[in-house]
A and B are shown apart, each in its own frame.
Chain A
């Protein structure tokens, strides 16, 4: 198992939430104090550097026009980490390539980070959440098609070393593509793509990339991972290596159960602060009409109100693992067995008002007392045995998946 420390770099110092319509897209940036923001950037970079020192890997991402994530250009932060860190793999998950007009520029940015870090880049591609549609001014319909076309152009740019080529696709055009630098890793950095359904998982599996799932929890994880495993075997004729799957959950480890749960409560800021009205959470063409219709009616997260969520619900769903090291290991192991295993654990271990010291204490406990056991777990992965284990565990059907949760599953 490889563990990836992740924080979304929130700017949590906001006015009363009744005073604004949305935390995303239209929240005026007068609420962003640059001096406070500078301190936060340094704090987040220090956390990532601490992750490197503890033997954890690093994951970062980007969002636009939102207080939930202060980083609108993940490659810039990753460029700093390429220089500041020594050992950690550097995962960007990911580049919102369906929303970026120049895939070749993305190929260049990623190649630069890969070279600077001497081959530590892991490059993710994502379609992006619905609220990104307005800031990017991209009509979200056919976003998946755009993602794959950008992917094809970027991987071709990374792997072409004998002079330029031209690209005339449906969504993107490029002339005389011949990037400098080329990637450090050959043939190119490992690629990750997010997936939210068995169908999207199959597309990732066919290409052999790492398939990443966010907060799908017990209700949906089996379906998605099974879609990947099936697609992988069909496309490649072999069992899927376990390092091809990744799961992201919120994780807090404490010296006592209560300490872990208290920290996890703070992580829920990620969900509870996500006040977004339907015009941003439901741009035309993002969701299938059945989902869009529900949101237009004002049901579920379409009301624009933050989803009320309790820690116990989120833990039951498999979205949060929290408690003592033993408890956290047991929760992850249970989920791991239930879904058939995964080789990458993305840990959302800081959110909202969780302090630097609190975050590092949890990370330290994780890296010293949980991580070694997880590494053993994946080292002993056996596909046949796993199928038996999985078959002995009945489907968990007690937890529903709200529209809000489905929005994070990609």
Chain B
């Protein structure tokens, strides 16, 4: 296992836990609604070539939600501070699901510190009309519907019944933070699509072919709005291709990152 350092970065009163793993060019990894990704097999394989920087969004993994936080914009500005604080240069910015939206918001502001952008089963825009269900309503779905929409192979889903009370409370608290950042407008910023032209670094979208939360068609719509972006669809994967097909995922990331 690659070397790991856990620190807490203090940013104007907000403490952000940060795990750094591996050595090489930096990759800022922004997790989605399920919480931190550090320690998953795909991060292990990437960390032989890169230094992965895993911050935990406030509210996730047992951290408090800052009193003044209301929505994703608060995260965007927190991470602008974090990026300055870490003095990142030529980093790869990679976001998953809600973290993809966050990465996109950061990128439309300023790509100066980043060399490339990777978005994985990302949300953030609204391709359809008012009556179109572009992103599954995860807060109004049953556990069964969520399992079906999220996973190609549901045996990989976390088993809530087997979790400790403490772990389950973190899952419940993560859901609160997820709601805070994404409730309304649901999983998107109506303005974002008009700003995507500002992304002037190579961009790769990676998508699970069977994602029932946010479909590969949504990925294609997002790709078409980002100059020069490409979309790489991974078969036999749902909303978490990095978990369901870690080798495929790592291969596509490495090809793009090294290309």
- Interface residues, chain A, CB within 8 Å of chain B? 21, 25, 134, 137, 139, 141, 277-280, 283-285, 289-290, 292-293, 296-298
Contacts and interface: CB of A to CB of B under 8 A. Distances in A.
B86 interface: no
Query: Residue among B165, B170, B176 with the most chain A CB within 10 A?
Result: B176
Given A277-B142, A289-B173, A296-B172, A139 B165 contact: no
Contacts, number: 61
A280 B143 CA distance: 12
Nearest to B184: A137
A47 to B, nearest CB: 34
Contacts of A290: 165, 169, 172
Contact of B169 (A283, A284, A289): A289
A284 B178 contact: yes
Contacts of A25: 140
A292 B172 contact: yes
B176 A279 contact: no
Contacts of B172: 289-290, 292-293, 296
Nearest to B67: A142
Contacts of B173: 289, 292
B139 A279 contact: yes
11 contacts: A25-B140, A137-B184, A141-B180, A277-B142, A280-B140, A284-B178, A289-B172, A292-B173, A293-B168, A293-B171, A297-B168
Contact of A289 (B139, B176, B179): B176
B7 interface: no
A298 B172 CA distance: 13
A296 B168 contact: yes
Contacts of B184: 137, 139
Contact of A141 (B160, B165, B179): B179
B253 interface: no
A157 to B, nearest CB: 25
B141 interface: yes
A280 B140 CA distance: 7
A218 B185 CA distance: 43
A297 B160 contact: yes
A139 B185 CA distance: 11
A205 B65 CA distance: 28
Contact of B141 (A279, A285, A293, A298): A279
A298 B173 CA distance: 16
B176 to A, nearest CB: 5
A283 B139 contact: yes
